[in-house]
Amino acid sequence: MQVSLTPTGSKASGTRPATVFKLLALISGLLIAGGGIWYVAITGIIGNKKWDFMTYGLGPAIVAGIGGAMLLGTLIAFFFHPYFHDAAEPVKHDFKRDKYMYLLILPGLLVVFVFSYMPMYGIILAFKDYKVKAGIMFSQWCGFENFERFFGRAIAGQVIGNTLFIGISQLAITFPVPILLALLLNELKSNTYRRITQTIIYLPHFISWVIMYSLLFSLFSITSGLINKILISMGVSPINLLSDPDMFYPMLYFTQIWKEAGWGTIIYMAAIAGVDQEMYEAAYLDGANRLQQVWYITLPAIAFSVTTMLILNVGSVMGANFDQIMNLRTAATETTVARVIDTYVYDMGVSKGEYDLSTAIGLFQQLVNCVLLFTSNAVVKKMNGEGFF
């Protein structure tokens, strides 16, 4: 009888280096090929008649060609070289079995790549002294000068403070509302009444913030608002909702709840629908009332959904609702309580043409959001053992 001297874990240990090599080679090839092609396209193929390919494009084109060859060679080696057989076999099996599904998602992947990943090239504007005539690639590098310009301004503290205050306070006030609505809807005995109620509270989600401002103006305008006209006719002082800085934050919270709370219940209602009804029956037989059933059965059942949504919301604290604030701000509030990072980036970039400065501010904002996202996920995972990733 022959005894194999090959260790039992050799197959698994051989698969791991193959997988790591595959990922590194694919990523390297994509970065080199994509970066080179994108560089050639931006530096002159598009709309620049005086662009010299031999001067500016030959090197990047060669690099792109090398990257493409690396990518193609990696794919061929992975699928056909015996060394990668153990790692490639499951992949080939999946492709063969689900080839039509992969074809279906291919257009979506291309759309995400074109509209979400290719624009990331513009991030380098944050580190350049951008000149429109020179273009992105040929503008001079300036290091962290744009960041220093922003943080050196007195307005930076106000902008960051307003953004954090609105983000944190909106999260604290509006986040529990969809959960409470979902729990209340679940207690309704009549399915017909529940569906009607759900439909009614969903509808405001489909109203744009432009229409929302028009409704508020029609109701609370000092000169022509319906509610203010009624108050004045009754001898009561009108409500200066739109132009009073002290009313701006309450208006944000109220409109956010009215517009999005019903829509936010969808996820929680779906989670509640998956709860085994026999658990409620067992709790009822044990003497638990409705409040105890909600506390000990329903809430634990939707805990993962709640923590997932909480992590995602914490990760966007520095990204206050641009559409909402942009449409609800007025001349009396846009330079005070309504001045947040998003609106400031819009004012600097679109209105004043300082694209490099606005890119630097936006990059800072997204970095903070990224840190908040990972931090909140780590905290939640440490507390209950379940995180988003």
Grouped pLDDT means (10 residues each) for the chain, 389 residues: 44 53 64 61 51 60 72 78 80 86 90 83 86 78 90 92 92 93 88 88 91 90 88 88 89 92 90 86 87 88 87 83 89 88 90 90 91 86 71
Determine the pLDDT at residue 162. Answer: 92
Which residue from 313, 337, 310 is spatially nearest to 325, judged by alpha carbons?
Answer: 337
Determine the pLDDT at residue 176. Answer: 93
Q: How far apart are CA 83 and CA 38, in angstroms?
A: 33
Inter-residue contact 175 to 314 (CB < 8 Å): no
CA 311 to chain centroid: 11
Q: How far apart are CA 181 and CA 197, in angstroms?
A: 10
**Domain residue ranges of the chain, discontinuous segments joined by +:** 13-97, 154-209+235-384
Determine the pLDDT at residue 60. Answer: 63
pTM, two decimal places: 0.74
Determine the pLDDT at residue 256. Answer: 92
Assigned CATH topology for domain 154-209+235-384: MetI-like fold (1.10.3720)
Determine the pLDDT at residue 373. Answer: 87
Burial class (CB in 10 A: 0-12, 13-18, 19+), 333: buried
